[in-house]
Chain A
Amino acid sequence: GDSVTQTEGQVALSEEDFLTIHCNYSASGYPTLFWYVQYPGEGPQLLFRASRDKEKGSSRGFEATYDKGTTSFHLRKASVQESDSAVYYCALSDASSFSKLVFGQGTSLSVVP
Chain B
Amino acid sequence: GGIITQTPKFLIGQEGQKLTLKCQQNFNHDTMYWYRQDSGKGLRLIYYSITENDLQKGDLSEGYDASREKKSSFSLTVTSAQKNEMAVFLCASSIAKAGAETLYFGSGTRLTVL
Contacts of B103 in A (CB 8 A): 44, 46, 101
Known: A4-B42, A43-B106, A101-B45. 11 other contacts (CB 8 A): A42-B107, A45-B105, A46-B103, A95-B100, A98-B50, A98-B97, A100-B45, A100-B48, A105-B41, A106-B40, A106-B43
Given A100-B45, A105-B41, check contact A43 B108 (CB 8 Å). yes
Contacts of B45 in A (CB 8 A): 100-101
Contact with A along B20-45 (1 / 0, CB 8 A): 00000000000101010000111111
Query: Could you tell me if B43 and A103 are in contact, using CB atoms closer than 8 angstroms?
Result: yes
Which residues between 41 and 97 of chain B lie within 8 Å of chain A, taking CB atoms? Answer: 41-45, 48, 50, 56, 58, 90, 92, 94, 96-97
Closest to B58 in A: A100
Residues of A within 8 A of B (CB): 4, 9, 31-32, 34, 41-46, 49, 51, 89, 93, 95, 98-101, 103-106
Interface centre among B41, B58, B102 (most CB of A within 10 A): B102
Residues of B within 8 A of A (CB): 4, 31, 33, 35, 40-45, 48, 50, 56, 58, 90, 92, 94, 96-108
Closest to B31 in A: A99
Shortest Cβ distance from residue A104 to the other chain B in the assembled complex, whole angstroms: 6
- Measured in the bound complex, the distance between the Cα atoms of B106 and A99 in whole Å is 18
Contacts of A105 in B (CB 8 A): 40-42
Query: Could you tell me if A99 and B101 are in contact, using CB atoms closer than 8 angstroms?
Result: yes
Contact with B102, one of A41, A46, A89 (Cβ below 8 angstroms): A46
Query: Could you tell me if A49 and B106 are in contact, using CB atoms closer than 8 angstroms?
Result: no
Contacts of A93 in B (CB 8 A): 99-101
- Measured in the bound complex, the distance between the Cα atoms of B102 and A80 in whole Å is 25
Contacts of B35 in A (CB 8 A): 103
Shortest Cβ distance from residue A24 to the other chain B in the assembled complex, whole angstroms: 14
Query: Could you tell me if B105 and A99 are in contact, using CB atoms closer than 8 angstroms?
Result: no
Query: Could you tell me if A43 and B92 are in contact, using CB atoms closer than 8 angstroms?
Result: yes
Query: Could you tell me if A32 and B43 are in contact, using CB atoms closer than 8 angstroms?
Result: no
Shortest Cβ distance from residue A75 to the other chain B in the assembled complex, whole angstroms: 15
